[in-house]
Copies of this chain bind each other. A is one copy, B any other.
């Protein structure tokens, strides 16, 4: 699991207790946490960590490409530690649960030149919407 810490150290990251804790939180469970949830879990391990540090560290991890930002329609951005295998998301419209999914096909290939308006297209995100089994049962 310290792959992540190793990679970061290799990139010249100064290794502090705070950064280690944030990295551990993300690496620990592959769910999609908001910044505040990350902060809450980080505080549990290192009570004096500040909110600003968590935001800073998440921002750095995103810049380094180690973590992805996911903007569903919820208010808060979520952070996805699974940045190394391309995937998309399936979101429950009721409870907000998020699953990683791997559709077949390549949506990038589905965008013809005539629909690109001169943009240099570099990526694509696909968000499926639906209702999860839990919410459907309720």
Contact = CB atoms under 8 A, between A and B. Distances in A.
Interface stretch (A6-14, A39-47, A114-122): A114-122
A124 B133 contact: no
Contacts of A124: 126-129
B118 A133 contact: yes
Assembly stoichiometry (copies): 2
Main secondary structure of the interface of A (DSSP, over half): mixed
Interface residues of A, number: 39
Given A124-B129, A125-B126, A126-B125, A90 B116 contact: yes
A77 interface: yes
A71 B69 contact: no
Interface of A: 69, 71-73, 77, 90, 92-93, 99, 101-105, 107-108, 110-112, 115-133, 136
